[in-house]
Amino acid sequence: MDATMIRKDFPTLERHVHGRPLVYLDSAATSQKPRAVLEAMQRYYEDANANVHRGVHALAEEATELYEGARARIARFVGADPRGIVFTKNATEAFNILAYSYARHRLGPGDVLLATEMEHHANLVPWQLAQAEAGFDLRYVPVTPGGELDLEAFEAEVATGRVALFAVTAMSNVVGTINPVADLAAAVKAANRDALVVVDGAQSVPHLPTDLVALGADMLCFSGHKMLGPTGVGVLAGDPEILEAMPPFLGGGEMIANVTLEGATFNEVPYKFEAGTPPVAEVVGLGAAVDYLERLGMAEVRAHEVALLEAVLPALEGIDGVSVHGPTDPARRGAAVSFAIEGLHPHDIGTIMDREGVAVRAGHHCAKPLVRKLGSVATTRASFYLYNTLEEIPALVDAVETTKRFFDR
């Protein structure tokens, strides 16, 4: 895989900011988009724009084919049944469907919903809202100072046999940790056959080969915009039988089988969870993104990022006063690299680095409990993707050095 060639597919990467070539290291927040995705969306609007599943005319049929074709390819990309692919507006909405239509109905007093301290707010707050209504216990697997799950504490929680839903991220958006999801899922199921395993794939699906069955996940939530696709579309991928047994989330058009003034019966999955006109162009764009990733090969994408990590981790650690959060072994982590510069606040670091053309994220990354656990209120995060090159790492190091000098004066 040649990242230098790949970069030519991404118009934004040709940009300069503050007079310098852009070094985009914020892909964990959102990725840049290749022309293939932008063109697929443009083509859809120019050639086939129509509402889906509703018309008998040619354009309506073509739009439906494009929409459902993308669903099939996205399903294959994560090893899911197309009937179990629900399009949402983002990963957050996918979690909210599960909190509202599963946790609120299926869990109650005496049940434990086990999450972890590593989670993004999207995989925390919906459960908290459901807990307030359903009265189950919400418990968390602690995170070690090294940014990994405390597996002993996990085993103790699971051993109670009360865990009815386990929610875990496959890859931390802050410290990059890759969790042993398949092992964790197996342990949860061994203690309680009926437990639901919900996996946050927002960071893992864009960066790692993903297979729902191999993960042991009943449900996988991810977003389109972090994997080369557009904003406005996310995915809830899961077991269609479990989805079928869940009550609807949003009501409206498309999700019904029949409606009278007295009530309604509901469409089959996945349509039951896709009320209203869906984000057709965005789904078409996400389909093109998946095609792009498959052409490169996810194993190749991962190998490229491991090579970047092997260079960037020692480069950052080698700077006086800089420490990297999370696992040090590239094999155990993804390419979201949070670091600290002694005595400096991430907000200040991010501002100075931006002036050097290096785009990083500063803040709590929507994972306040985790960042607290790391002993901080914020981190600076450089996150890499398939279009980043080894040549960009010296630019990152220079920007960090410049930042240190600026505040040392």
Residues identified as active-site: 366
Question: CB neighbours (10 Å) of residue 145?
Answer: 9
Does residue 368 interact with other proteins by CB under 8 A?
Answer: yes
User: Which residue among 243, 378, 396, 400 contacts other proteins (CB under 8 A)?
Assistant: 378
Q: Specify whether the CB–CB gap between 13 and 388 falls below 8 A.
A: no
Span interacting with other proteins, options 27-35, 261-269, 316-324, 347-355, rule CB under 8 A: 347-355
User: Which residue among 355, 389, 390, 397 contacts other proteins (CB under 8 A)?
Assistant: 355
Nearer to other proteins, 117 or 157 (CB): 117
Span interacting with other proteins, options 136-144, 156-164, 211-219, 364-372, rule CB under 8 A: 364-372
Q: Residue 146: how many CA atoms within 13 Å on its side-chain side?
A: 11
**Shortest distance, CB of residue 352 to other proteins, whole angstroms?**
7
Nearer to other proteins, 332 or 345 (CB): 345
> Measuring CA to CA, how many Å separate 137 from each of 127, 128, 297?
10, 10, 41
Does residue 364 interact with other proteins by CB under 8 A?
Answer: yes
Query: What's the DSSP call for residue 47?
Result: I
Number of helices (H), then strands (E), in the chain: 15, 17
Residue 180 burial (10 A CB sphere; 0-12, 13-18, 19+) = middle
Q: How many residues bind other proteins (CB under 8 A)?
A: 18
Q: Specify whether the CB–CB gap between 280 and 233 falls below 8 A.
A: no
**Shortest distance, CB of residue 172 to other proteins, whole angstroms?**
17
Rounded to whole angstroms, how far apart are CA atoms 151 and 247?
Answer: 34
**Shortest distance, CB of residue 20 to other proteins, whole angstroms?**
14
Span interacting with other proteins, options 56-64, 235-243, 300-308, 358-366, rule CB under 8 A: 358-366
Nearer to other proteins, 52 or 370 (CB): 370
Q: Specify whether the CB–CB gap between 86 and 338 falls below 8 A.
A: no
Nearer to other proteins, 271 or 406 (CB): 406
**Shortest distance, CB of residue 322 to other proteins, whole angstroms?**
18
Does residue 174 interact with other proteins by CB under 8 A?
Answer: no
Does residue 357 interact with other proteins by CB under 8 A?
Answer: no
Does residue 377 interact with other proteins by CB under 8 A?
Answer: yes
Q: Give the 3-state secondary structure of residue 234.
A: strand
Nearer to other proteins, 26 or 157 (CB): 26
Does residue 310 interact with other proteins by CB under 8 A?
Answer: no
**Which residues sit opposite 238 in a β-bridge?**
219
Does residue 20 interact with other proteins by CB under 8 A?
Answer: no
Which 317-346 residues touch other proteins, going by CB under 8 A?
345-346
**Shortest distance, CB of residue 22 to other proteins, whole angstroms?**
18
Rounded to whole angstroms, how far apart are CA atoms 131 and 122?
Answer: 15
Rounded to whole angstroms, how far apart are CA atoms 403 and 235?
Answer: 39
Q: Specify whether the CB–CB gap between 315 and 339 falls below 8 A.
A: no
User: Which residue among 247, 294, 351, 394 contacts other proteins (CB under 8 A)?
Assistant: 351
Does residue 302 interact with other proteins by CB under 8 A?
Answer: no
Tokens of 280: 């057709």
Does residue 406 interact with other proteins by CB under 8 A?
Answer: yes
Tokens of 299: 């194993």
**Shortest distance, CB of residue 14 to other proteins, whole angstroms?**
23
> Measuring CA to CA, how many Å separate 186 from each of 161, 192, 197, 215, 351?
13, 10, 9, 9, 44
Nearer to other proteins, 106 or 355 (CB): 355
Longest dimension (CA), the chain: 73
Rounded to whole angstroms, how far apart are CA atoms 195 and 21?
Answer: 50
Rounded to whole angstroms, how far apart are CA atoms 93 and 69?
Answer: 22
Contacts of 348 (CB under 8 A, 6+ apart): 403, 407
Nearer to other proteins, 61 or 348 (CB): 348
Span interacting with other proteins, options 210-218, 232-240, 244-252, 371-379, rule CB under 8 A: 371-379
Does residue 347 interact with other proteins by CB under 8 A?
Answer: yes
Rounded to whole angstroms, how far apart are CA atoms 385 and 113?
Answer: 33
Rounded to whole angstroms, how far apart are CA atoms 337 and 25?
Answer: 10
Nearer to other proteins, 295 or 409 (CB): 409
Does residue 348 interact with other proteins by CB under 8 A?
Answer: yes
| Footprint of other proteins (CB under 8 A) | 345-348, 351-352, 355, 362-364, 368, 371, 376-378, 406-407, 409
